[in-house]
Structures are given as structure tokens and as C-alpha cells.
Amino acid sequence: MREKKYRLPQQSKRKINYTHLGMLCGIAVAALVLVIAAVVIVVRVITYDPFPEDASLTKEAGSVQSEISEEDALKIRYPSFEDENLDQAVQDVVKQLRENTDGEDTVIDYRSKTIFDTYTSVLFKITKTAEDGSTKISYASMLYDGNAQKALSVDDVFRNQVERDLLDGRKLEDVTAMELNEKDVTLYFSDGKSLPIVFSEHKEYIALNDPDIPSLYQNEPLSIAESPQIDPDKPMVAITFDDGPNPATTPELLDLLKKYDVRCTFFMVGKNAEANPDIVKRIYQEGHELGNHSWDHADLSQLSEAQIIEELQSTDDAIFKACGHDPLYIRPPFGAMSDVYQNTVDRDSILWTIDTRDWESHDASKIKKIIDTYVSDGSIILLHDIHEDSVKAMKSVIPELLEKGYQLVTVSDLYKYGRIS
């Protein structure tokens, strides 16, 4: 038998199409490129920082918070704090900044720091871009006193005369921001300019009560007695005392006021304040109001501008050195005011509605009779704490006024509750 031979079929040889292969590789590479590009784009979107780099805006205090509102064209960064009062003070400023964007493209960033473990200073830099591409930079701020637990105003930081002597014709109302540093306070104005005021060079202008900050008052801040509650619907009277303090009579008067828990206003003569700083300190600590009555009871209506400034500034300094606070009001001796005086003085001048003429009578019963005859809601009573009979009269006047329903308040209280304007 013939053996059959079988031929295995030859495996077919495929011809590789390198053109197609190249196309496939190209497509794969293109796809990979697109994937990588997409990743890069995503990364860029995620990591994009809308706030321009500014090395000067260091953030040493608080945690950074960011908000972006396309609708309001606003990008804002601000710090948050664990201290609720401090955080609320920042939020109050941030709220105002949000409301003042004016529809322009606005970027707000900040610098923050803690000074002397007491103060938190936050300076906001506001950059607005108009439709024509022009930019305008302005500043806002928040300065917080951790000991007092409150945000500070310009008036809390500087004394009365800073506007007159240091601002080169600008007004304190032109200040839009201030930043506290260890050696100075920098003021920022509405015109975009800034002015550093160095503590060591201008300590007589500094109102902050802090041992680390040079000023005319270098003691610890004084605590103040809590004032009694005032009912705005009940009658009120301001009893005011001129010419003191007098060590022979003023302490006795203060004892009496403390006994009845009432508040008065003391218009002090500067040389007497300088001679009796402990009494000035007590007046302030017991919640009474401070007033300026010139240095030596001069008739200010007869003086030049420079002389008026000297009389009042010397008195302010004497009172500030004693208690760390400036008098709020001025009472010109004799009530005399000239045009020069009116043009020179930028604080309220307080006169009176009832003159007891205690300086003339030196009679407690006559003093009391005048008050009983003319007193009414909103009266400002003029007395002098340097006279013994004036203090004696108060021993019956005060309890009788209280019994009649009058509240004995400061001049500021009369302003606050609309009794004077």
C-alpha cells in the first residue's frame, strides 16, 4: 500500500501596513497629548491664584480666607480669628468693603500683624480696575486692642492736636486707614498718600495708654467706674464745676458724688490739674467727665491765636499726664469768646443755663435757691469746686434733685440724649 503524504498548509504571511500603523501611533500620541494637556489645564484652573503676588502683604496674624464673586467682580482675602470680638471687628470692615465695590473689578488683599501681644493690625489694600484698564489703589484698616476688647478709631490713637500740628493741612476725616507698627503708626489718606508718625519723635501726640508706646502718660490704663443707667425719657441735669481741682474741697465733693452714684463734668484749670494729678486721676476713674478751663483762668477773648493754643494745650497736657485722657470740651473763662477764639478752637465750647453765682455769694442757701428756681430738663448748672460753700450746697441739692426725678449726668449725656445740640 502506498503511503499517503500530507502537506501541512503553509502559514500565510501577512504583509504589515506600516502606513496604517503610523496613523494608529499618531492617534495614540495625539490622544495622550490631549490627556496631558487636559490635566495641565485642570491643574492650572485648580492652582490659579487670582490675587496678584505682593511680598509686602505679609499675613502674620489670623487664618487666610478668600472669596471670589464673579457677579460683583470682587476678589477679597481677609483674616479670621478665634477671638469672637476680634473676628467680628474684621467682619464689620469686610462688610463695608463688599458694599463699596461700585461695580468695578476689585481685588482686596491684606497685611496683618500682632503688636506687643496686645494689638492686632490689619491693613486692607484695595485695587480697583476701571473699564479703560486704569487702576486705583486705596486702603482700609482694622486696629484692635485686645486688652480693651474693641476696635480703635483714629481718636483712640491720637490726641487732639495731631491734626493741627502734623497732618500738613489734611483733616483726620481724610484718614481712610491706619497701621500700627512697633515704632510708629502709619496713616493712609483718601488721596492715596501715607504718613508715618514715629512714637519716639511725637510722643506728645499719642493717646494710646501702653507702657511699650511712648506718650506723655506712661502708666497702666486706668479702670473707670461703671456709670448708672440713664432713662432717656426722664429729665436730666448736668452739674458742672469750674476752677479746680482744689485739695481742700474737691475730694469732699467727690465723696458726695460717689455716695449718690451721680456723674458730673469738671472744667479744670491747667495749673491746678498739674499740681493735683491724683485728684484728676480720681475724677476720671470715678466716671466723671473732663473739661478744659484754660491754664490760669485767662480771658481767652483777649488773646492771640498762639496764646489761646498755648493756654488750652498746656491744660490738655496736664490732664493727660495725670490720667491718660484729654478733656473733651472747653469752657472759656467768663464765657468770653472772640472771633479769634472761635476760629482757633475746634472743640465744643460749653457754657451754662444756670449761673449759681457761688463765686459771689459764698452762701449755700442762696446757691440752692437759684438752682431750685431755674432747674429744668437739660439744665447745665455752673458751680465751682474750689469754694467750700458750693460743696456744702451740694449736700442738699443732689438728694433733692434725685427725689424730684432728675438724673444727674455729664454734658456728653445731654448731647447723647438730645437735651442740647
Q: How many residues does the chain have?
A: 421
DSSP line for 362-402: --HHHHHHHHHHH--TT-EEEEETT-HHHHHHHHHHHHHHH
Cell output for 103: 461695580
Instruction: Classify residue 357 as left (phi > 0), alpha (psi -120 to 50) or beta.
Output: left
Catalytic residue among 145, 210, 242, 358: 242
Half-sphere exposure of 305 (CA within 13 A, CB side): 8
Identify whether 202 is a catalytic site residue.
no
Residue 290: phi, psi to the nearest 5? -100, 135
- The pairs formed by 215-224 with CB atoms below 8 angstroms and a separation of 24 or more are 215/324, 216/317, 216/320, 216/321, 217/320, 217/321, 217/323, 217/324, 219/324, 221/147, 221/148, 221/324, 222/281, 222/284, 222/285, 222/323, 222/324, 223/285, 224/284, 224/285, 224/286, 224/287
Of these residues, 384, 385, 389, 413, which one is catalytic? 384
Catalytic (active site) residue 384? yes
d(CA 240, CA 220): 28
Active-site positions read: 242, 384
